[in-house]
């Protein structure tokens, strides 16, 4: 199958080309993101492979359909960047990688918690300057703390299990509770109770109309003073303006994010020699109790191998007319 890959980096090409030896698809890699302006690059291809910040809105999809594209292969779990209704109208099928390495993202969420709490990033910089003072590096024990997990899909389950291992009390909220977590002692509660009781809240839910700006000013007001918020899901789960205000008022004690509401065009690129004009992002970076990573939660060898394997299998299944296990319903 002839496939145009968008928003690619060297690691994408390396892992996909290696895995493709077993599939023999014809792959072309473009560094540019896919949107209505770059859709013309898909001419002559049968499918496009896209990532989290490619913009597959109605206009983009109409152009892709005009070029004969029949399949969108998302090499990620989320699909909020695809207008599924418009895709269906243009007879374009979408497939995804629903569970490439849930442990990778869950472990990164824990890394954010531990770094924010024990301030290891600050200690590292001090020691490199021969400063061995412990002043202002005080943390807290995770043992015995209440952790709230919003969204208990595969990643949320992995995260909850890790926090249980730390000896935390775990509360959860999801429209479809996990029997596995219930059996392990996780208590499902209403979201308002979770916000009120949790010392640490971690977001693992998909982004949709119901969860957009889930963490808004009202949610922050309901949270425990000084609580920690972690987001390794999608940036728009958090209202950026509201979280800045919560930090300014010291209502929110810590913020750790691997995703950002306006990350498109910012993350996944070296911008060290450019001026960042995103005022909200700059405000976040100014807080000493905020830790930001550039959407690297998925970024492990195991995850990249699984992403390539599942994506290429999705392409083969579509090409051969097989059942599409990972199809995204319209």
- Asked whether residue 99 carries a pLDDT value surpassing 90, the answer given is no
Neighbours of 274 (CB within 10 A): 9
Domain count, the chain: 2
User: 61: domain range?
Assistant: 2-100+300-319
> What local confidence, expressed as pLDDT, does residue 275 receive?
94
Give the residue numbers annotated as catalytic, written as ranges: 234, 263, 295
- The verdict on 70 and 7 lying in the same domain is yes
- The verdict on 63 and 210 lying in the same domain is no
- Asked whether residue 303 carries a pLDDT value surpassing 90, the answer given is yes
> What local confidence, expressed as pLDDT, does residue 100 receive?
82
Contacts of 66 (CB under 8 A, 6+ apart): none
- Asked whether residue 264 carries a pLDDT value surpassing 90, the answer given is no
CATH number of the domain within which 124 lies: 3.40.50.720
Is 150 domain-assigned? yes
Task: Over range 63-78, report the average pLDDT.
Answer: 96
Is 253 domain-assigned? yes
- Asked whether residue 40 carries a pLDDT value surpassing 90, the answer given is yes
Q: What is the mean pLDDT of the chain?
A: 97
- Asked whether residue 145 carries a pLDDT value surpassing 90, the answer given is yes
Which residue(s) pair with 256 in the sheet?
230, 291
Going from the C-alpha of 42 to that of each of 3, 30, 193, the distances in angstroms are: 8, 10, 48
- The verdict on 136 and 31 lying in the same domain is no
| Residues 146-197: tens digit of each pLDDT | 999 999 999 999 999 999 999 999 999 999 999 999 999 999 999 999 999 9
Q: Rounded to an integer, what distance in angstroms lies between the CA atom of residue 268 and that of residue 8?
A: 9
């Amino acid at each position: 199958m002839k496939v145009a890959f968008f928003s690619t980096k060297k690691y994408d090409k390396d892992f996909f080309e290696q895995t493709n030896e077993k599939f023999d698809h014809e792959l072309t890699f473009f560094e540019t993101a896919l949107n209505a302006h770059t859709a013309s690059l898909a001419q002559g291809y049968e499918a496009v492979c896209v990532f989290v910040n490619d913009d597959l809105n109605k206009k983009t999809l109409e152009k892709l359909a005009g070029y004969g594209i029949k399949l969108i292969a998302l090499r990620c779990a989320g699909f909020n960047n695809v207008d599924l209704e418009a895709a269906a109208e243009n007879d374009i099928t979408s497939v995804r990688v629903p569970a490439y390495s849930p442990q990778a993202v869950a472990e990164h969420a824990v890394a954010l918690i531990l770094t924010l709490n024990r301030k290891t990033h600050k200690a590292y910089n001090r020691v490199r300057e021969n400063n061995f003072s412990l002043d202002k590096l005080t943390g807290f024990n995770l043992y015995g703390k209440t952790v709230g997990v919003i969204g208990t899909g595969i990643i949320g389950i992995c995260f909850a299990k890790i926090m249980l291992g730390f000896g935390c009390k775990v509360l959860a909220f999801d429209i479809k509770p996990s029997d596995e977590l219930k059996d392990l002692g996780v208590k499902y509660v209403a979201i308002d109770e979770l916000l009120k009781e949790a010392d640490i809240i971690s977001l693992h839910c998909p982004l949709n109309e119901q969860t957009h700006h889930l963490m808004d000013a009202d949610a922050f007001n309901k949270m425990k003073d000084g609580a920690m918020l972690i987001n390794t899901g999608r940036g728009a789960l958090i209202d950026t303006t509201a979280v800045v205000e919560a930090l300014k008022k010291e209502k929110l004690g810590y913020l750790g994010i691997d995703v950002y509401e306006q990350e498109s065009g910012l993350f996944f690129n070296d911008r060290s020699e450019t001026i960042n004009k995103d005022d909200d992002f700059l405000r976040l970076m100014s807080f000493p109790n905020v830790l930001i990573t550039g959407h690297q939660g998925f970024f492990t060898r195991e995850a990249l191998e699984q992403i390539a394997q599942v994506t290429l299998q999705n392409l083969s299944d579509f090409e051969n007319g097989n059942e599409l296990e990972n199809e995204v319903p319209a």
